[in-house]
A and B are shown apart, each in its own frame.
Chain A
Amino acid sequence: MKNLTRFTMLVTACFVLAACASKDPAPVEPAEPMEAKPTRPAEPTVTAVDPTDYTDPRNLDRGDSLLSRRVVYFDFDQARIKPEYRDIIAAHATYLGANGGARITLEGHADERGTREYNLGLGERRGNAVSDLIDAQGASASQLSVVSYGEERPANNCSQERCWSQNRRVEIVYTSQQ
């Protein structure tokens, strides 16, 4: 029985290999991809980056791509992710799913109202909220880390809502891009 199984697997493997071989008329040789490479830069598709291709590392720094947006803002004493940030978070999740070596740190922040230690907790809760959503959309937990700075690193330093709204945030920081 065992032998029969093994035989069947072998036959199947041969069939698959043959099928592959038949699609590609050139024999599999190490030199072959080397020869193909020089033709790549000449391809016209290279310059036209699709900003909605969230698997493409080049989009991380392109202003027209959601991947270049790295800050998620929150309401006062809240860690609920507002609908307008879901697309940004989904784009980063797609990127991390496609680029297994990429790593991000989610830096959670709070505005100055309330006590410092409570705000450390609030910053972490916001970081976790973004992390959980990215995790649920295809990234792996090992790619994500969360650090909370509470109210200690404000983006803007004034005691008014215009600053506070900028300070209640999670910053997505790439520590490794690919």
Chain B
Amino acid sequence: MRNFFKHACAAFCMFSSVALAQDDVVIVITPSGEAAVPIAVVPFAWSAETALREVDVTKVVTDDLSRSGQFRTLPMADMIERPSRPSDVNYGTWRRLNVDYLVIGEVTGSDTLGYGIRMHLLNVTTGDALLSLEFSSRAGGMRYTAHHIADTVYEALLDVPGFFRTRLVYVTRSGEGDNTEFSLMVADADGYGPQPVVRSKEPLLSPAWAPDGRSVAYVSFEKGNSSIYTQELASGQRQLVASFKGINGAPAFSPDGKKLALALSRSGNLEIYVMDLATRRTVQLTRHFGIDTEPAWSPDGRYVYFTSDRGGRPQIYRVEPRSGAEAERITRQGEYNARASMSPDSSQLVLVHGNDNNYKIALLDTERNILRTISDGPLDESPSFAPNGRMVLYASRRGTQGVLSAVPIYGAAAAGQTAHQLIFADGDIREPAWSPIRQ
């Protein structure tokens, strides 16, 4: 596995920057397209008294912006000047390097007192300071602060919130046969600091975030049959919420966090239900002999989208829990559309679009009813939107290994569609879900 990983890395390193987040996680960033915003993040000046620079702030900010696919960052080797204050900036130099924006800053303070980070976002064309901010950070909090800086740059230039202070939940499988172990993991959105939420010899699947980002729901086979648990990440406290006869699957928190949509076969057939998490009472939303599963809420909570093969093959339908009206079919493109989820602005669905041997991630513009694929297949799955709707995260297979990829889907960055974020890990990684923006 190590060798494969090294080769994969070597192959990508030639034209990519590689961020080593941890021993077993590597993020490969393919350079953004020509249409991306050219920006230079100049190495911050360090006057802080510190034995060890625990985090390379500049690198974290640079990688965040690159990963988004919406910025083209200037390689550090090309920076012939390294200003840290606006008065030191020679704008002509940066114009000649075809940079539109410049991020500069300095770090002060100490390990014991904490750090102060002063940063400036400068418009190279006009010479204006768009942002001049001061952040304070404890030792140990520098990585988070660096993501915060990247978020403010992202929002200042693109007018939408960034997603760099978010997390991913995913499932890994390691070992073979009797030694197989499944782990539900949570890591920063850049793959850094993976932590196990739960481990099991039996399959774990379908992790889903609560809207406050503090807990997850997931399916576990630890009791022999499938059961659904919710678990608070900080305390580790978990609750068994569904363990009915038959399948207990596909949990999805409602936008207000008070309900859980799920798929249960306790009636003898797999149907969509909504459970009130306070009372644990369930309401059945579908009644059909077909397979109904993979419920997903619209952001306003009005609709529940789901996968059903009631028409012969799996397609996306939706129901309106409050009206109780008949399910309405949404997708008609191709023979297999499943596991939809809706973008934060409700304008599109991301789903798995397939035929017999080829499963790709696709976006469906719900208003114009146009479907376009955004991945290459052949076994891509579990797509989810970044909380700002500008990227899609999904899992794919490379040989017997699972890999996570993220692709920019918005505006200029989506035009090239080659920008990928790949996380290689030992073992098999699957079923990622992108957290909401931290509150």
Contacts of B268 in A (CB 8 A): 128
Stretch at the interface among A22-30, A46-54, A150-158: A150-158
Chain A 119-143 interface mask (CB, 8 Å, partner B; 1/0): 0111011001000000000000000
Instruction: Determine how close the nearest CB of chain A comes to the CB of B414; give it in whole angstroms.
Output: 24
Taking a contact as CB atoms under 8 Å apart, the answer to whether B397 and A147 are in contact is no
Report A-chain residues with C-beta under 8 Å of the C-beta of B250: 117
B324 within 8 A of A: no
Q: How far is the CB of A143 from chain B (nearest CB, A)?
A: 16
- Whole-angstrom distance between the alpha carbons of A159 and B381 in the complex? 14
Chain B, residues 28-42, CB within 8 Å of chain A (1/0): the string is 000000000000000
- In-complex Cβ contact of A153 among B203, B397, B399 (8 A): B203
B376-406 near A? 1/0 per residue, CB < 8 Å: 0011011000000000000001011000000
Known: A76-B356, A113-B354, A152-B221. A120 touches B313 (CB 8 A): no
Nearest opposing residue in chain B for A105, CB measure: B224
Residues of A with C-beta under 8 A to B221: 149, 152
A113–B339 Cα distance when bound, in Å, is 13
Verify A152–B203 contact, CB threshold 8 A. Answer: yes
In the bound assembly, the distance between CA atoms of A153 and B182 in angstroms comes to 12
Out of B249, B265, B314, name the residue touching A114 (CB < 8 Å).
B314
Shortest distance between the CB of A101 and any CB in chain B (Å)? 21
Q: Do A121 and B203 have beta carbons less than 8 Å apart?
A: no
**Contact of B313 with A77 in the complex, beta carbons under 8 Å:** yes
**B270–A121 CB distance below 8 A:** yes
> CB-defined interface of A154-172 with B at 8 Å, one 1/0 digit per residue?
0001110000000000000
Cα A34 to Cα B226 in complex, Å, equals 49
Interface status of B192 (Cβ within 8 A of chain A): no
Residues of A within 8 A of B64 (CB): none
Contacts of A77 in B (CB 8 A): 313
A112 vs B250: C-alpha distance when bound (angstroms): 17
Q: Which residues of B contact A124 (CB under 8 A)?
A: 246-247, 265, 270
Q: Give the contacts of A65-116 with B (CB-CB under 8 A).
A: 76-77, 112-116
Collect the chain A residues with CB atoms within 8 Å of residue B294's CB.
Answer: 115, 117-118
B62 to chain A, nearest CB (A): 35
* Complex alpha-carbon distance, A71 and B298, angstroms: 41
Q: Are A149 and B203 in contact (CB under 8 A)?
A: yes
Interface flag for B336 (CB, 8 Å): yes
Assess the B225–A147 pair: CB atoms within 8 A. Answer: yes
CB <8 Å contact, A116 and B246 = no
Q: A114-B314, A120-B293 are in contact. Are A159 and B379 (CB under 8 A)?
A: yes
Interface flag for A59 (CB, 8 Å): no
User: Chain B 277-313 against A: per-residue CB contact (8 Å), 1 yes, 0 no?
Assistant: 0000000000000011110000000000001010001
B112 interfacial by beta-carbon distance below 8 Å: no
Contacts of A149 in B (CB 8 A): 203, 221
The answer, among A121, A146, A147, for a CB contact under 8 Å with B291, is: A121
**Residues in A neighbouring B225, C-beta threshold 8 A:** 147
B270 surroundings in chain A (CB, below 8 A): 120-121, 124
Tell me whether A118 and B357 are in contact (CB under 8 A): no
Question: Which of B226, B336, B356, B379 has a CB less than 8 Å from the CB of A120?
Answer: B226
Q: Which residue of A lies closest to B224 (CB)?
A: A147
Residues of A within 8 Å of B352, CB to CB, are 114-115
Measured CB to CB, the closest approach of chain B to A142, in angstroms, equals: 13
Cβ 8 A contact of B400, one of A76, A128, A157:
A157
- Flag if B313 contacts A117 (CB, 8 Å): no
Known: A120-B226, A121-B291, A159-B378. A115 touches B313 (CB 8 A): no
Scoring A residues 7 to 49 as 1 if CB is less than 8 Å from chain B, else 0, what string do you get? 0000000000000000000000000000000000000000000
Q: Kindly provide the distance from the CB of B199 to the nearest chain A CB, expressed in whole angstroms.
A: 15
- Pair B381/A118 contact, Cβ less than 8 Å: no
- Report the Cα distance A165→B250, complex, angstroms: 26
- Residues from chain B with a CB closer than 8 A to the CB of A150 are 205
Q: B residues engaging A (CB < 8 A)?
A: 203, 205-206, 221, 224-226, 246-247, 249-250, 263, 265, 268, 270, 291-294, 307, 309, 313-314, 336, 338-339, 352, 354, 356-357, 359, 378-379, 381-382, 397, 399-400, 431
Given contacts A117-B249, A147-B225, 18 further A-B contacts (CB under 8 A): A114-B314, A114-B352, A114-B354, A115-B307, A115-B314, A117-B307, A118-B314, A120-B226, A120-B263, A120-B270, A121-B263, A121-B292, A124-B246, A124-B270, A147-B224, A150-B205, A157-B400, A159-B400
Residues of A within 8 A of B (CB): 76-77, 112-118, 120-122, 124-125, 128, 146-150, 152-153, 157-159
Q: 7 tightest A-B contacts by CB? A: A121-B291, A152-B203, A115-B339, A117-B250, A115-B338, A121-B270, A117-B293
Interface CB pairs A-B, < 8 A, 15: A113-B354, A114-B336, A115-B294, A117-B205, A117-B263, A117-B294, A117-B339, A118-B338, A121-B292, A121-B293, A128-B268, A152-B221, A157-B400, A159-B379, A159-B400
